[in-house]
């Protein structure tokens, strides 16, 4: 292939239950991932080594090939499949960096799909998912997309029975939060407390089965929210403005600091985004729908 182009969505967590720390430092979770129509795009062309360039408003916050998860994904695939080739990856970044929407994981998933096609390695889906899991807890979901339950570190996925399309308003914060820092903060806040095994709330699954946005709004939950609020207290104001305007529900997404609000329809989404912008409680506001599929090939140019 001469050029391969892949599109990959951001995720939000509709529910995120977090256990205490494991001996390996990770936390077992029970989460419901939901892929939303906010995409990064990756273009892969042959090169003599692995190289990456990033475009977009936050491009300067993205590490170069030495610390970039997408570059690591390409190197891992080459090693695993015994490929002696490089790749030049161009990333068009729209998913917020360090925003709790798995932007870095998304790019890693996209790089796996792109390089697998570029190099003709054609690994079985199951093996790509395994490679994804070694790269990061959220990377397998970026391959899968849709709405899915994640157990273990989040990498053990089962697609969820979910009906309907949901309208979300995402308030992007000024600055990011480090995922390890947010997990460490929840450990600190919950120190000494007996924690139940993490589980996905039955009401959340029932709301998804029924496709009922009102019930879903009430069932949204995130154990990491108190930690994100503790590290970034101004997020409380964002939540207050959105919920005060009548959103069906609102939570911090994953480890934050992006805050997502569920609303009834596209018109309500526009209204709420105007209210959030006017209140000056965030850097930017975007409207997205979900669920959408995971990393997908858009174009593969032969040559």
The minimum distance between CB 31 and ligand C5P, in angstroms, equals 8
For the chain, the helix, strand and coil percentages under 3-state DSSP, each to the nearest 5:
35, 30, 35
List the one residue from 39, 119, 141, 183 that touches ligand C5P (CB under 6 A): 183
Structure tokens at 301: 């140019």
Q: Which stretch binds ligand C5P (CB under 6 A): 8-16, 42-50, 159-167, 177-185?
A: 177-185
CB contact at 8 A, 227 and 185: yes
Catalytic, 138? Answer: yes
175 preceded by a cis bond (ω within 30 of 0): no
As measured in angstroms, the least distance from the Cβ of 29 to ligand C5P is 5
Q: Could you count the other beta carbons within 10 Å of the beta carbon of residue 69?
A: 21
Q: Kindly name the residue from 40, 138, 223, 245 that is annotated as catalytic.
A: 138
Site string for ligand C5P, 84-123 (x = CB under 6 A): ----------------------------------------
Identify which of residues 136 and 294 has a Cβ nearer to ligand C5P in the complex.
136
Binding to ligand C5P in span 193-232, by CB under 6 A: none
Nearest to 176, CA basis, from 239, 105, 243, 103? 103
Question: CB-wise, 101 or 269, nearer to ligand C5P?
Answer: 101
Min CB(32)–ligand C5P separation in Å: 14
> What is the x/- site pattern for ligand C5P, positions 149-168, by CB under 6 A?
----xx--------------
The active-site residue, picked from 11, 107, 223, 245, is: 11
33 counts as binding ligand C5P under rule CB under 6 A? no
Would residue 11 show up in a list of annotated catalytic residues for this protein?
Answer: yes
Beta strands per DSSP E along the chain: 3-21, 27-47, 50-55, 86-92, 147-151, 156-159, 166-172, 221-222, 249-252, 259-263, 284-290, 296-301
Distances (CA, A) of 267 to 167, 186, 191, 264, 272: 10, 36, 43, 8, 9
**Judging by beta carbons within 10 Å of its beta carbon (0-12, 13-18, 19+), is residue 297 exposed, middle or buried?**
middle
Where residue 98 falls (left for φ over 0; alpha for ψ -120 to 50; beta otherwise) is left
In the complex, the smallest distance separating the C-beta of residue 259 from ligand C5P, rounded to whole angstroms, is 20
Contact with ligand C5P (CB under 6 A) among 179, 221, 222, 225: 179
Which one, 99 or 213, has the nearer CB to ligand C5P? 99
Minimum distance from residue 143 beta carbon to ligand C5P (Å): 14
List active site positions. Answer: 11, 138
Residue ranges in contact with ligand C5P by CB under 6 A = 25-27, 29, 136-138, 153-154, 179-180, 183
């Amino acid at each position: 292939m001469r050029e391969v182009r892949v599109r990959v969505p951001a995720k939000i967590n509709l529910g995120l239950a977090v256990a205490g720390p494991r001996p390996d430092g990770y936390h077992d979770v029970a989460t419901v991932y939901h892929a939303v129509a906010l995409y990064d795009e990756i273009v892969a062309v042959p090169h003599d080594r692995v190289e990456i360039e990033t475009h977009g408003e936050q491009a300067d916050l993205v590490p170069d090939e030495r610390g970039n998860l997408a570059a690591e994904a390409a190197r891992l695939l080459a090693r695993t499949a015994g490929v002696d080739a490089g790749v030049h990856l161009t990333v068009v970044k729209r998913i917020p960096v360090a925003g709790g929407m798995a932007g870095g994981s998304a790019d890693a998933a996209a790089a796996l799909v792109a390089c697998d096609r570029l190099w003709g390695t054609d690994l079985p889906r199951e093996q790509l998912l395994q490679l994804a899991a070694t790269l990061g807890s959220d990377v397998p979901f970026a391959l899968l997309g849709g709405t899915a339950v994640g157990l273990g570190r989040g990498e053990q996925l089962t697609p969820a029975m979910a009906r309907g399309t949901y309208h979300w308003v995402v308030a992007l914060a000024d600055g990011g939060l480090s995922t390890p820092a947010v997990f460490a903060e929840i450990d600190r806040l919950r120190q000494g407390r007996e924690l139940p095994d993490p589980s996905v709330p039955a009401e959340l699954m029932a709301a998804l089965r029924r496709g009922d946005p009102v019930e879903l709004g009430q069932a949204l939950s995130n154990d990491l929210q108190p930690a994100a609020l503790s590290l970034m207290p101004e997020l409380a104001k964002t939540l207050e403005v959105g919920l005060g305007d009548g959103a069906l529900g609102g939570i911090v997404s994953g480890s934050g600091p992006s805050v997502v609000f569920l609303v009834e329809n596209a018109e309500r989404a526009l209204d709420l985004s105007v209210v959030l912008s006017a209140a000056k409680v965030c850097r930017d506001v975007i409207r997205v729908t979900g669920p959408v599929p995971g990393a997908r090939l858009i174009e593969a140019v032969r040559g």
